[in-house]
Amino acid sequence: MTKTIAVYGATGHTGRFVVAELIRQRFTPIVSGRNAEALKTQWPDLEARPATADDAQALDAALLGADAVINTAGPFAITGPALTAAAVRAGIPYVDVAAEIEANVDTFAAHQGATIPIVPAMAFYGGLADLLVTAALDGRTSADEVIVAYGLSSWHPTPGTRAAGQVSHDRRNGRRVRFADHELQYHDDQPSQEDWAFPDPLGTRRVIREFTMADVVTIPSHLAVPIVRTAMTLEAAGDLARPDTPAPKAIDDDGRSDQTFVVDVLIRTKDGDLRASAHGQDIYAITAPLAVGAVRRLLADEGRATGVASAGSMFDPADFLRELAPYLTVRIASSTNGW
């Protein structure tokens, strides 16, 4: 029997990729979100169940009969608590694509004892690097330091990205955040830069050293790592900072933009350094097979945990990355000497 998956935020930029991927993988999507008219216009052939995050009864109706739910609607500080609560009431797996650091912290804190699988940040930020790091460690559960360098050729943010970023900015009162000494630390230090030698096809690029993303929540949620640092190419950070940078523009039939990316992971251990990388096209588009792949595995009883867990903890990371081969080029080296 075909599995039915509710997608909250189905008319958003990432939500549309997720619905299309569900259809491609032969799931039956139920589309949900705040705007009833937009749901009908965007997805006229699918069952639409509008609901707002502050209406628990409507959310329960949206998930009625669904086998799982994927939340793609930010800000996740607002939608996450409501949708996870609805998923718990329905007794179905919950997956989201949150890049908001504080929202992910809240999800982990609130659902440690949950009786359903809950996988936050199952997306380009948070999920992909967690899979790469865990696969490269190959069963080891600790490291001295993890650095995730994001090589984006550009970053045309969606309205949802901007809204979620503003919520995070406000929650931390404009302060910056890092993960050091096994904890999140808020600070007012000025950002610094360095050159980072990305693997092909990007090459050496200037990056902001501490451009902190959701990986500082997902990776240390299950690995003993005192320092997790994420860096971002200067071009992409500049695009995000400019208020007039337009939203992504599709260049192919799949709706992807011309943005290319390389995620380059460096893991420092007492036995030597490890390296892993992935490159592909469009950070929003790649989120769809990550989130849908998570749901498919959970419904096939391939999840490794009950309750809240990150991608690298919940799934077999090497197997998951192999499955992404049509979308990503992945490389994992046993040491930096083999890079």
Phi and psi for 144 in degrees, rounded to 5?
-80, -35
Q: Indicate whether 322 belongs to any domain.
A: no
Q: Domain check: are 224 and 299 in the same one?
A: no
Which H/E stretch holds residue 280?
A: strand 272-281
Residue 91's region, left for phi above 0, alpha for psi from -120 to 50, else beta, is: left
Question: Please, are residues 193 and 207 in contact by the beta-carbon 8 Å criterion?
Answer: yes
**Domains: count for the chain:** 2
Q: Indicate whether 109 belongs to any domain.
A: yes
For position 1, what pLDDT does the model report?
Answer: 74
Q: Indicate whether 14 belongs to any domain.
A: yes
Domain of 59? 4-122+287-314
CATH of the domain at 136: 3.30.360
For position 138, what pLDDT does the model report?
Answer: 95
Q: Indicate whether 136 belongs to any domain.
A: yes
Q: Domain check: are 198 and 331 in the same one?
A: yes
For position 305, what pLDDT does the model report?
Answer: 86
Q: Domain check: are 72 and 216 in the same one?
A: no
DSSP per position, 126-140: IIIHHHHHHHHHTT-
Distance spanning both ends of the chain, measured CA to CA: 45
Q: Domain check: are 304 and 248 in the same one?
A: no
Q: Domain check: are 234 and 168 in the same one?
A: yes
Q: Domain check: are 143 and 219 in the same one?
A: yes
For position 215, what pLDDT does the model report?
Answer: 98
Distance of CA 13 to CAs 72, 107, 224, 260, Å? 9, 23, 35, 17
Q: Domain check: are 83 and 147 in the same one?
A: no
Q: Indicate whether 43 belongs to any domain.
A: yes
Q: Domain check: are 134 and 274 in the same one?
A: yes
For residue 215, the SS3 value is helix
Q: Domain check: are 252 and 137 in the same one?
A: yes
Across the 339 residues of the chain, what is the mean pLDDT of every consecutive 10-residue run?
Answer: 95 98 98 97 98 98 98 96 98 98 97 94 98 97 98 96 93 95 96 95 95 98 98 97 96 96 97 96 98 98 94 98 94 67
Closest alpha carbon to 47 in 89, 18, 5, 76: 5
Q: Domain check: are 57 and 105 in the same one?
A: yes
Q: Indicate whether 320 belongs to any domain.
A: no
Q: Indicate whether 321 belongs to any domain.
A: no
Q: Domain check: are 108 and 202 in the same one?
A: no
For position 229, what pLDDT does the model report?
Answer: 98
Q: Domain check: are 108 and 215 in the same one?
A: no
Q: Indicate whether 243 belongs to any domain.
A: yes
Both tokens of residue 136? 């490269």
Alpha-carbon distance 300 to 297, whole Å?
5
Which H/E stretch holds residue 171?
A: helix 159-171
For position 306, what pLDDT does the model report?
Answer: 84
CATH of the domain at 39: 3.40.50.720
> What strands, in cross-sheet order, belong to the sheet with 117-119?
47-50, 28-33, 4-8, 68-71, 94-96, 117-119, 307-308
Pairing of strands 260-269, 272-281: antiparallel
3-state secondary structure string, 18-35?
A: HHHHHHHCCCEEEEEECC
Distance of CA 46 to CAs 4, 7, 39, 42, 277, Å? 11, 11, 9, 9, 37
